[in-house]
């Protein structure tokens, strides 16, 4: 094999390694174990050269014919042009290597694939010194790497690699509130409804000051309109409270038969339910139900305003196909009927003008009165997990940052502060190979991406 030896190293720092088996060094040229200094040999006969690679990796090859066994690999800093005895006082790290000469020692190209999960795993072991599966299994390590990549690295970096577009299609009867997928980290402007840009708001106080909580309803607690239980030709409401003027009233659960004109076959119609101070529920049909409409939005728009001295409970939209719909007679559960029940005032609906993001919920106001497409061209999303050894991240620099970031977190948990601080590097450190250096480089890509486009600002 090749590159079995690996250690933390920084650009400009020279290292070498010596392999010890049961306390005695490996004589590299002869590939044998002997007492130090046998045959007048010196350190030059025992050292294994290390080469600085990507990030802060140094790599070296174990002599292919070395005797089998469990080696302690000690890494040293080299002060001069060649290893010297004095360098043995400057230990740079340790590695335990289980070496079996009987195993096919063919080169593995995967060892350098630092943008792949297997390469990230290799770097993590190098950074922590936990080189064996007995220290931490590949399965557990994969979980740690994916957690850091998906939940930490993606949030911190936020380059265009983690951006995607996303759409939501509204209906004329929905609540104006939509759940965002779990892989969405953040919503960025602009936001479009059809071809018109709307405002993206993150300030709840300002949003609700403009649109009002409950401004589109006359009830205090919702009536929760639904198909009747006792009669499927009626509309059921739950117990609720409502307001007329400055007074609040309560209504028990009830069922109310629809009334009004018959809706023609293949058409939409709508019915408004309102309630007065005495608790009497009135059904008012759309002015043109007898002719019917081609869309739900048209039928809703045809409903009358709030009757005088009454509070609107909500409305029912009916589409009939294969038969006419006779209110109060045709069952709302009939196969020919498609029915929707919506609490609140239909006259307060319209094309959304603004949206509010609260956690994973998107709220638009006004509530939609028709089918609209809300488009987010610049959502920030979590990446997919690295599911296989050859699953890749964007490039090898990312691989090094992911491995190093979680290695630092693990070392801190173990109390290995000196090692973790060395990996992290001080703030504004310009020394190649530190975590701070690599992350600044990656975030520099983000700055370049933002400078290349117009930054949209939202309140």
3-state secondary structure 87-103: HHHCEEEEEEEEECCCC
Rounded CA separation 210/334 (Å): 42
Q: Are 263 and 238 in contact (CB under 8 A)?
A: no
Rounded CA separation 454/312 (Å): 45
The tens digit of pLDDT for each residue in 54-96 reads 556 788 889 988 998 888 999 899 999 899 999 888 888 778 8
The tens digit of pLDDT for each residue in 195-248 reads 899 999 999 999 999 888 777 788 999 999 999 999 999 999 999 999 998 899
Tell me the domain boundaries of the chain.
1-107, 113-159+394-459, 162-204+352-381, 226-348
Q: What is the mean pLDDT of the chain?
A: 87
The tens digit of pLDDT for each residue in 13-56 reads 789 999 999 999 999 999 999 999 999 999 999 999 988 765 56
Structure tokens at 342: 């919506």
Q: Which residue has the tokens 């076959």?
A: 265
Phi-psi region of 457 (alpha: psi -120 to 50; beta: other; left: phi over 0): beta
Q: Residue 433 above 70 pLDDT?
A: no
Of 52-61, 168-177, 250-259, 410-419, the poorest mean pLDDT is in 52-61
What is the number of other CB atoms lying within 10 angstroms of the CB of residue 5? 24
More confident residue, 167 or 5: 167
Q: What is the pTM of this model?
A: 0.63
Rounded CA separation 257/342 (Å): 16
* Pairing status of strand 196-201 against strand 354-358: parallel
Contacts of residue 307, Cβ cutoff 8 Å, sequence gap at least 6: 274, 282, 284
The tens digit of pLDDT for each residue in 241-289 reads 999 988 999 999 999 999 999 999 999 999 999 999 999 999 999 999 9
244-279 b/e (C-beta count within 10 Å ≥ 16 → b): eeeeebebeebbbebebbbbbeebbbbbbbbbbeee
Q: Compute CA 459 distance to the chain's CA centroid, rounded to the nearest angstrom.
A: 23
């Amino acid at each position: 094999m090749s590159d079995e030896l690996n250690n933390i190293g920084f650009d400009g720092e020279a290292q070498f390694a010596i392999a010890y088996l049961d306390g005695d060094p490996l004589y590299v040229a002869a590939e044998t174990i002997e007492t130090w200094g046998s045959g007048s040999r010196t350190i030059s006969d025992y050292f294994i050269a290390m080469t600085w690679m990507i990030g802060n990796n140094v790599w070296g090859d174990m002599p292919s014919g070395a005797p089998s066994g469990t080696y302690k690999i000690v890494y040293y800093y080299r002060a001069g042009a060649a290893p010297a005895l004095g360098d043995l006082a400057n230990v740079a790290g340790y590695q335990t290597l289980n070496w079996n000469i009987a195993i096919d020692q063919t080169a593995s190209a995967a060892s350098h694939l630092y943008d792949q999960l297997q390469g990230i795993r290799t770097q993590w072991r190098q950074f922590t010194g936990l080189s064996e599966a007995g220290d931490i299994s590949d399965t557990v390590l994969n979980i740690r790497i994916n957690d850091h990549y998906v939940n930490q690295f993606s949030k911190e970096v936020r380059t265009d690699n983690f951006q995607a577009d996303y759409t939501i299609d509204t209906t004329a009867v929905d609540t104006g509130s939509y759940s965002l997928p779990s892989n969405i980290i953040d919503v960025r402007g602009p936001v479009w409804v059809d071809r018109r840009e709307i405002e993206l708001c993150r300030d709840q106080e300002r949003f609700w000051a403009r649109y009002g909580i409950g401004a589109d309803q006359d009830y205090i607690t919702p009536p929760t309109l639904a198909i009747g239980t006792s009669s499927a030709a009626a509309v059921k409401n739950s117990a609720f409270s409502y307001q007329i003027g400055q007074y609040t009233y309560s209504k028990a659960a009830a069922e109310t038969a629809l009334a009004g004109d018959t809706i023609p076959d293949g058409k939409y119609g709508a019915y408004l339910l309102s309630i007065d101070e005495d608790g009497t529920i009135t059904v008012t049909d759309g002015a043109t139900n007898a002719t019917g409409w081609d869309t739900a939005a048209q039928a809703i728009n045809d409903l009358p305003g709030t009757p005088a001295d009454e509070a609107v409970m909500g409305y029912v939209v009916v589409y009939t196909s294969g038969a006419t719909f006779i209110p109060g007679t045709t069952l709302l559960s009939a196969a020919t009927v498609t029915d929707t029940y919506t609490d609140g005032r239909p006259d307060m609906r319209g094309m959304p003008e603004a949206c509010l993001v609260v956690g994973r919920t998107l709220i638009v106001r006004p509530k939609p009165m028709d089918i609209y497409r809300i488009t987010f061209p610049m959502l920030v999303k979590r990446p997919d997990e690295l599911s296989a050894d050859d699953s890749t991240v964007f490039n090898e620099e990312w691989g090094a940052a992911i491995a190093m970031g979680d290695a630092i977190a693990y070392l801190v948990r173990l109390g290995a502060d000196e090692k973790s601080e060395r990996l992290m590097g001080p703030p504004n450190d310009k020394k190649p190979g530190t975590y701070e250096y690599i992350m600044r480089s990656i975030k520099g890509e983000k700055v370049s991406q933002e400078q290349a486009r117009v930054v949209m600002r939202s309140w």
